Amino acid sequence: MELRIALAGNPNSGKTTLFNSLTGSNQFVGNWPGVTVEKKEGKLKKHSGVILTDLPGIYSLSPYTLEEVVARNYLIGERPDAVLNIVDGTNLERNLYLTTQLTELGIPVVIAVNMMDVVRRNGDKINFSELSRELGCRVVEISALKGEGVMEAAQAAIDAAKSAKTLPRHTFSGVVEHALAHIEEAAVHHMPAEQQRWYAVKIFERDEKVLEQLQLKPDLLSHIEQDIRAAEEECDDDAESIITNERYGYIASLMESCYRKKKAGMLTTS
Ligand code: BGO
């Protein structure tokens, strides 16, 4: 059986370096359908039944840039068996923003924390077991440049794809969860269970591409709109910003529990 693993990450996270290291010369280059964004696929070294698809480098799964739309159309439309999410360990806080969205898709995710050679050289510490527990997925430390941990990360993605399990993840505030529960029940209950959450969050955000795709009936839309407005009033913010801010709040708490920066310039008196 062929397994399809998508490689996702921010620009400059080391995605190309990792892709090349995992596939070697076994690559096919083309374009994503209908757009002039380059699409690279390759067979995983020593695993000819595993196809790795390199997604465009993105910061978010919002619908605003061509790269984001290409990446999310693939993830939602083609549903790969697993996502290997490469994050830059020297820029963990910024990179985890995409991670919080990928883990909502209902596709097994493995996180490869890259640039670990630099993180270690800087003396910074990442608590991998805590990060893994919080995010509900395997987290593997790698240095794509040095080829360290890369096959372990790929193997973890294969294992995740085979187990096909997605674990519970972060929850939003009560008022948002209340609206999401209503949206799930009213608009997306006919979808496979693991896909409902992502669609509910996107409907809450009034994501134009998702609303266009789902073509919800006007009375259903106005019913949902009441829940969204109630949350907006309570939080005194627009729906999309509420979600963004709660993600940042969650990531800040993750950083607090999982990341220790080496204190610079401390002098001791003893
Ligand atoms: C340049 N460790 C270190 N130290 N660097 C890494 C690692 C790692 O584990 N992985 C990747 N890099 P891309 P995207 C460069 O190109 O794969 C480096 O955008 C340079 N180039 O070598 O391109 C990698 O595909 C001149 O660095 O990322 C690359 O995600 C001086 O991170 C950069 C210094 O990797 C981005 C670096 C002319």
* pLDDT for 164: 87
Give percent of the chain above pLDDT 90. Answer: 91
Ligand 1: distance of its center to the CA of 206 in Å? 36
* pLDDT for 203: 98
Give percent of the chain above pLDDT 70. Answer: 97
Given a contact cutoff of 8 angstroms between Cβ atoms, the answer to whether 113 and 87 are in contact is yes
Does one domain contain both 96 and 225? Answer: no
From 163, 193, 211, give the residue that closes a domain: 163
Residue nearest to atom 24 of ligand 1 (CA): 14
Does one domain contain both 22 and 124? Answer: yes
The tens digit of pLDDT for each residue in 146-168 reads 999 999 999 999 999 999 888 77
From 163, 187, 218, give the residue that closes a domain: 163
Is 103 a residue whose pLDDT tops 80? yes
Ligand 1: distance of its center to the CA of 171 in Å? 34
Q: Which of 17, 98, 146 to mutate to test the pocket of ligand 1 (most atoms within 8 A of CB)?
A: 17
Does one domain contain both 248 and 132? Answer: no
Which of 142, 204, 194, 205 is CA-nearest to residue 169? 194
Does one domain contain both 243 and 148? Answer: no
Ligand 1: distance of its center to the CA of 176 in Å? 39
Name the domain count of the chain. 2
Residue 260 lies in a domain: no
Q: At 213, list the tokens.
A: 């795709």
Does one domain contain both 122 and 155? Answer: yes
Does one domain contain both 16 and 58? Answer: yes
Does one domain contain both 128 and 236? Answer: no
**Rounded to 5 degrees, what are φ and ψ at 105?**
-75, -15
Atom of ligand 1 nearest to the CA of 18: 17
What number of CA atoms fall less than 13 Å from residue 16's CA on the CB side? 7
* pLDDT for 146: 97
Does one domain contain both 122 and 34? Answer: yes
Is 182 a residue whose pLDDT tops 60? yes
The tens digit of pLDDT for each residue in 223-233 reads 999 999 999 99
Does one domain contain both 124 and 28? Answer: yes
Residue 151 lies in a domain: yes
Q: At 193, list the tokens.
A: 């269970």
13 within ligand 1 shell (Cβ under 6 A): yes
The tens digit of pLDDT for each residue in 227-250 reads 999 999 999 999 999 999 999 999
From 163, 196, 225, give the residue that closes a domain: 163
* pLDDT for 269: 57
CATH number at residue 251: 1.10.287.1770
**Rounded to 5 degrees, what are φ and ψ at 262?**
-65, 130
14 within ligand 1 shell (Cβ under 6 A): yes
**Distance, CA of 55 to CA of 268 (rounded, Å):** 48
Ligand 1: distance of its center to the CA of 172 in Å? 34
12 within ligand 1 shell (Cβ under 6 A): yes
pTM as predicted: 0.95
Domain that holds residue 192: 174-255
Ligand 1: distance of its center to the CA of 230 in Å? 45
Is 176 a residue whose pLDDT tops 70? yes
**Distance, CA of 25 to CA of 4 (rounded, Å):** 18
Does one domain contain both 156 and 182? Answer: no
Residue 96 lies in a domain: yes
* 270 SS3 class: coil
